[in-house]
């Protein structure tokens, strides 16, 4: 241990010196302050007022002059990077190919119902929590959150129902009550979960330090001595939990937050982070998930930037190998827009394979990185409109995860081999959630209406023959195929919630090619590059950073850090840190400490 501390002292000294170097050279002012947090204004429900923010259409005369940066894509990763840069006074133009901003956090309305498309719930939004501090700063405190009930998730395994409860002590205690005799395994898992959560900032460090230093730490063996998080990142989730318990159902409870990868090929670190993310509770945006973009965009605009939609970027412009701007395709002509910094929220595959010329994609450095990654799993979503308010129907904010058996590795292997009819009839895994029950404003905005979202995994190959075709032009075979699965999923949901019988008024389904069309998600992937063990090898972690092989070009979003809303936001902060040459997390940590001190004083 003494030797380890001798090794750590120079490392931490270098981090401190690096921090003060950046602060002295680039200015002492913090981007993040308590003063920017304003009292929340009333919820804006007027469609025209919201469209002015979320659906500002692209035209050449709207391009701000003297841009500091361009962002391709308005997903939460792109908006987070743009908002952080705007806090530094940078003029940023965000370009979105869809007809509204927000990426997977946008919503749509049909037949009087409103549906979210990607955000189902978010953790760590408790007062003083780091993610809450981050989101407050990126929205000036205007984004409000509604906490779900203490019992935020239920998991059905075969015919048994297990429940997850929020709270530092309630979380493990509830598991112990449901799995008597497994107390030691649960305690060990929670200990590992805490260890991962405490040490995960070191992964961000690995992406921010110079790449040559990251390689030195890796090849010298010092990296794994610094923290156990690097070993846990590379470890299979199944290997770790298999050593804790042989109880398959408890193993499933340690793995139930499904993102398309079986436990034997997923990183233990990611699964542990996901469970820890909700340990203090789960939250949902008041007003729906589109509120995230609605409140980030004004921060960008205040610095002179814009977020423009219907602006499909066709290529990144290069000059002597440096990114200098983008070309937007409008009808039969290209409109070139220039800026010294170009940021891509389009994902690592889209960026290198479609937006850059082949000679960049084929460089050994890029080719070896992309060869180490896989396209992520697609999903199949069903959006259901229900007659009646959520409270009248007894619908709760609790999410329901359904697995037909306890061995998730075997289940997912079987899933891949099933014929279409078998998938529809057996439905090996499914997720059910009621967005209208999570948001108390839903009943005010859509009186007498409720909504339900159903989800299952869906390999892209099921629907690849319709790739590239526009919605509603894919023919009867496509429509019949997707609605066949949708109807079976609704029938399964009604078994769990019989009060919905006869109440369903609207139903629509989205396939991986829907995600590919509306979100430009490669092969309809839910969470960017596959979240498997290969991606979380330390060498790949160090290379999956914001800086690219092209000077002036940066990446943001899920592929930079990890999956989901939180992962995409952290990708945005890492990107902004790289562009600004500031370690933004240090400012955030200092702000968080000040806020927690105020909270303690207020409560004492």
User: Which domains does the chain show, CATH number per domain?
Assistant: 31-109+126-136+289-372+537-603 (3.50.50.60), 176-280 (no CATH), 374-528 (no CATH)
In this predicted structure, what is the pLDDT of residue 415?
86
Helices and strands, number each (H, E), in the chain: 27, 20
Q: Count Cα neighbours of 28 within 13 Å in the Cβ-side half-sphere.
A: 0
In this predicted structure, what is the pLDDT of residue 23?
43
Task: Give the whole-angstrom CA distance, residue 157 versus residue 180.
Answer: 17
Start-end of H helices in 126-169: 130-139
Strand pairing category for 399-403 and 92-95: unpaired
Stretches in the chain below the pLDDT threshold 50: 1-10, 12-13, 16-17, 19-27
Question: What length does the chain have?
Answer: 604
Start-end of H helices in 308-383: 348-350, 358-361, 364-371
Task: Give the whole-angstrom CA distance, residue 95 versus residue 426.
Answer: 42
CA distances from 388 to 179, 444, 499 (A): 37, 12, 11
- Dihedral, 292, 555, 577, 135 alpha carbons, nearest 10: 10
Single out the residue of 565, 402, 592, 376 nearest to residue 497, CA to CA.
402
Angle, nearest 10°, between helix axes 76-87 and 564-580? 40
Q: CB atoms < 10 A from the CB of 155, how many?
A: 19
Q: Count Cα neighbours of 372 within 13 Å in the Cβ-side half-sphere.
A: 19
8 Å CB contact between 501 and 494? yes
The C-alpha R_g of the chain, in whole angstroms, comes to 23
Single out the residue of 361, 347, 349, 348 nearest to residue 318, CA to CA.
361
8 Å CB contact between 114 and 288? yes
The DSSP call for residue 352 is I
In this predicted structure, what is the pLDDT of residue 599?
85
How far is C-alpha 404 from the chain's CA centre? 26
Entry pTM: 0.94
Start-end of H helices in 245-283: 248-253, 268-277
Task: Give the whole-angstrom CA distance, residue 326 versus residue 436.
Answer: 39
């Amino acid at each position: 241990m003494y030797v380890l501390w001798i090794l750590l002292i120079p490392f931490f000294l270098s981090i401190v010196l690096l921090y003060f170097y950046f602060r002295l050279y680039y200015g002492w002012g913090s981007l993040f302050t308590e003063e920017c947090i304003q009292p929340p204004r009333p919820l804006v429900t007027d469609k025209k007022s919201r469209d002015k923010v979320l659906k500002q259409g692209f035209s050449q005369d709207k391009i701000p002059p003297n841009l500091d940066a361009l962002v391709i894509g308005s997903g939460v990763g792109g908006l987070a990077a743009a908002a952080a840069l705007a806090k530094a006074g940078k003029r940023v133009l965000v370009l979105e190919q869809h007809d509204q901003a927000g990426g997977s956090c946008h919503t749509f309305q049909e037949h009087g119902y409103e549906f979210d498309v990607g955000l189902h719930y978010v953790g760590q939004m408790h007062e003083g929590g780091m993610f809450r501090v981050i989101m407050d700063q990126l929205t000036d405190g205007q984004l409000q959150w509604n906490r779900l009930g203490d019992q935020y998730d239920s998991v059905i395994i075969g015919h048994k129902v297990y429940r997850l409860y929020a709270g530092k002590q309630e979380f493990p205690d509830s598991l112990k009550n449901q799995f008597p005799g497994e107390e030691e395994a649960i305690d060990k898992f929670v200990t590992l979960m805490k260890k991962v959560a405490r040490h995960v900032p070191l992964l961000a460090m690995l992406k921010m330090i110079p790449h040559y230093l990251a390689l030195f730490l890796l090849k010298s063996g010092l990296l794994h001595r610094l923290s156990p998080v690097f070993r846990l990142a590379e470890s299979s989730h199944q290997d770790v939990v298999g050593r804790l318990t042989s109880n398959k159902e408890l193993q499933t409870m340690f793995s139930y937050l499904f993102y398309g990868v079986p436990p034997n090929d997923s990183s233990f670190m990611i699964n542990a982070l996901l469970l820890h993310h909700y340990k203090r509770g789960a939250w949902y945006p008041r007003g729906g998930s589109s509120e995230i973009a609605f409140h980030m965009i004004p921060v960008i605009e205040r610095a002179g930037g814009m977020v423009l939609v219907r602006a499909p970027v066709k290529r990144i412009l290069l000059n002597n190998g440096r990114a200098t701007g983008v070309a937007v395709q409008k009808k039969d002509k290209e409109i070139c827009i220039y800026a010294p910094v170009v940021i891509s929220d389009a994902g690592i595959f889209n960026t290198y394979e479609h937006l850059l010329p082949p000679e960049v994609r084929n460089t050994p450095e890029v080719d070896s990185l992309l060869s180490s990654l896989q396209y992520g799993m697609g999903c199949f979503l069903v959006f259901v409109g229900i007659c009646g308010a959520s409270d009248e129907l007894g619908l709760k904010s609790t999410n329901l995860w359904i697995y037909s058996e306890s061995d998730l590795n075997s289940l997912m292997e079987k899933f891949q081999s099933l014929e279409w009819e078998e998938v529809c009839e057996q439905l090996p895994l499914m997720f059910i959630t009621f967005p209208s029950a999570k948001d108390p404003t839903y009943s005010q905005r859509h009186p007498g209406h409720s909504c339900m979202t159903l989800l299952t995994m869906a390999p892209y190959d099921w629907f690849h023959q319709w790739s590239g075709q526009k919605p509603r032009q894919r023919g009867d075979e496509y429509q019949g195929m997707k609605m066949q699965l949708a109807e079976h999923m609704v029938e399964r949901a009604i078994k769990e919630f019989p009060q919905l019988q006869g109440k369903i008024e609207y139903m629509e389904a989205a396939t991986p090619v829907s995600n590919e069309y509306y979100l430009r998600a490669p092969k309809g992937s839910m969470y960017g590059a596959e979240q498997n063990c290969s991606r979380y090898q330390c060498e790949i972690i160090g290379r999956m950073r914001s800086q690219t092989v092209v000077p002036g070009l940066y990446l943001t979003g899920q592929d930079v850090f990890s999956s989901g809303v939180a992962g995409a936001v952290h990708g945005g902060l890492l990107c902004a840190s790289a562009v600004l040459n500031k370690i933004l997390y240090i400012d955030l940590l200092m702000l968080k400490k000040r806020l927690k001190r105020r909270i303690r004083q207020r409560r004492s």
